[in-house]
Amino acid sequence: MNWLKKILKHTLEEQENRLLIVSSPLVFMHLACIGIFFTGFSWVAVWALLITYFVRVFALTAGFHRYFSHRSFKTSRFFQFVLAWVGTSAAQMGPMWWAAHHRHHHQHSDTEEDVHSPVAKDVFWAHLGWVLCQTYGGTDTNKVKDLYKFPELRFVDRWHAIPAVSLGLILFFVGNRLNFYYPELGTSGWQLVMWGFFLSTALVYHVTFCVNSVTHIIGNKRFKNEDESRNNWWVAMLTFGEGWHNNHHRYPHSARQGMYWWEFDLSFLLLRGMEKLGLIWDLKVYPKAIYEEAARLELERE
């Protein structure tokens, strides 16, 4: 009956914290996806969906996670701002809010102090519930002092709606112009907004939220970490490498999360390309000792 007590406990906590299910922008984002049935289909809309999904998942995984949360590489102040702006357009709050909560997660992974553990709490809470709770709407600036010194990051973090709204406006303008000059494409401003912003954002929500929920209950454990982080291949595919979560929790400082060639990590491959272009530098990777530990554990299992 412990599982029932756990659910009842967190249900009461949600009541006390006034879960914002009705008024949350996250809920509105999902409801707005219905608009795709009213604006119709076009291949332009599909491309808008794919591009905005791809760019924003990368900005979250490589930017918000590996850079802002773990400082696993270095970059210029300008490109840092680009990562912040594009990542914030995914409507998951700002870079400092995101990094502060993620750093807290690593400090207390799968304990009662962990904000979004499916082990200490439950799967719904880890995947969606905590995001809907106004208790966690603030930012512990003590955890992100290295980021707080940049006024442009403070601006994006405070006015986090601006990048998201800007993306919607750009999509509307592009769709409107395409409809005017190339009506044979069958697209429109509202169609691109529905597909490229609302539907894309909802998909980005759930694939990134799976890292909090799925990769702490489903998958393989290469390392004997003190938490329940696991490597999950299909989450890794959807999130460009974030699913190699057990690897990540063993050595969070690495910009590479898939340790071997068969652990596909698209975000890291793109970061390698950016390193060659000079956009970023000092990419951190797993040290030799981590590979030796992995090999030793594999022999023990055999």
pLDDT of residue 198: 98
The values of phi and psi at residue 280, to 5°, are -135, 170
Those residues of the chain that have pLDDT short of 50 are 1, 3-8, 11-12, 14-18, 21-23
* C-beta separation of 17 from 137 below 8 A: no
Note whether residue 20 is domain-resident. Answer: no
Q: Can you tell me whether residue 231 is helix, strand or coil?
A: strand
Domain membership of residue 264 as a residue range = 2-14+29-301
Strand partners, 19: 133
pLDDT given for residue 75 in this prediction: 98
Alpha carbon 40 to its chain's center? 28
In a domain, 21, yes or no: no
In a domain, 195, yes or no: yes
**Could you give the 3-state DSSP secondary structure of residue 103?**
helix
Residue 22 lies in a domain: no
Question: Is residue 282 in a domain?
Answer: yes
Q: Where are the alpha helices (DSSP H) in the chain?
A: 2-16, 25-32, 36-39, 43-58, 77-88, 95-107, 123-124, 130-132, 145-148, 151-158, 161-181, 189-193, 200-213, 233-238, 245-250, 266-277, 288-301
Q: How many domains does the chain fold into? A: 1
Q: Is the residue at 91 inside a domain?
A: yes
Using CA atoms, how far apart are residues 5 and 72, in angstroms rounded to an integer?
Answer: 40
| Structural domain contains residue 145 | yes
